[in-house]
Amino acid sequence: VEEVYLKLMELIVRFSKHGLIHCDFNEFNIMIDNDENITVIDFPQMVSTSHPDAEMYFERGVNCIRVFFEKKFNYIGDYYPKFSDCQESDIELDVAVEASGFSKTHQKEFEELMRFHNIRNVEKKEEEEYDEYDEEEEEEE
């Protein structure tokens, strides 16, 4: 339990160091297999670390994981990151994917960048979901 908890906290930090805040980082958007490999889903609502509410979303994600682990596993982790502790790297995924909601093209670029930088377990959406999302975008324009 502790190892998975720490991996999740490190993942939140890793995203933020690359300019991204997930915005909905909680037990409903995280899948853990029997080998304790973590898969994070539901990226379209992410925002940049420069977004005015980035700190609030970051800390909410950290707190969601802490509360979940306490309730589900009776585990209280000593370590939990603060937004102020996360310094960005030279990799600006938020800029690359135009974080704060993005299209099919941005989703594909994001997945390529995640693979390039060896960030594991990015969920690939079905082509139909992409097409459906793009159709909605076109209708709004």
Q: Please identify every residue annotated as catalytic.
A: 24
Cα 58 to Cα 6: distance, rounded to the nearest angstrom? 16
Burial level of 71, CB count in 10 A (0-12/13-18/19+)?
exposed
Burial level of 62, CB count in 10 A (0-12/13-18/19+)?
buried
Cα 67 to Cα 116: distance, rounded to the nearest angstrom? 33
Q: How many H-runs (helices) and E-runs (strands) does the chain carry?
A: 5, 4
